[in-house]
Amino acid sequence: MNVIWLQRPEPAGDLVYGEVDSPWGRVWSLWHEDALTQLAFVDSPSDVEARFRRAAKVWRREPEPIPEDDDRLSSLAAILHAWPNQAAVSMPTLEMVGSAFQQRVWRYLLRLDPGQCLTYGEVARHIGQPGAARAVGAAVGANPVPVLVPCHRVLPASGGTGNYGGGERRKRWLLSGEGVGL
């Protein structure tokens, strides 16, 4: 998977958004040129509005709508429907905007195999930051491209699913599809 790592958004280039259906519901996506930079589950029109406002604030401009028949959207839908066996589907380039610490966490998450779950503390130890479980939790929660950067594979040491941005039910669906029972 090709990933562009940035600490700040690049001001130049096309910025577009669109929605696709996934096995877990509607998904909103934000694209900078041909790179996927944000992905979010949509449960209501207010979710779309909030994502749009957040994107405009982060990028300092409003994204434009993408045509529904755009190849980026059809490719994204194919990847999500093939999950977790998406290896046969061409993954888009990801553009991950975040702090150096967040990027260390996200890079580690990309190394996890389907069904491989760790606690926030275990991730902290693996990235050389023992004792930073809460900071790892914040970085996991800030993941701009859930599912493709598998933050759902990180669980609290106390058990349960934690506070997954897409909701507990979706996290359970994702993990169940990878053979993990909670």
Does residue 151 carry a catalytic annotation?
yes
Which pairing describes strands 35-42 and 93-97: parallel, antiparallel, or unpaired? parallel
Count the Cβ atoms, other than its own, within 10 Å of residue 46.
Answer: 9
User: What is the C-alpha to C-alpha distance for residues 94 and 23, in angstroms, rounded to an integer?
Assistant: 21
- DSSP-assigned beta bridge partners for residue 26: 21, 42
Instruction: Determine the residue type at 115.
Output: G
Rounded Cα gap, residues 164 and 149, in angstroms: 13
Amino acid sitting at position 100: A
- Among the listed residues 124, 151, 174, 175, the single catalytic one is 151
Residue burial 123-143, b: 16+ Cβ < 10 Å; e: rest:
bbebbebeebbebbbebbeeb
Judged by DSSP in three states, 178 sits in coil
Q: How far apart are CA 3 and CA 23, in angstroms?
A: 24
Catalytic residue numbers? 151
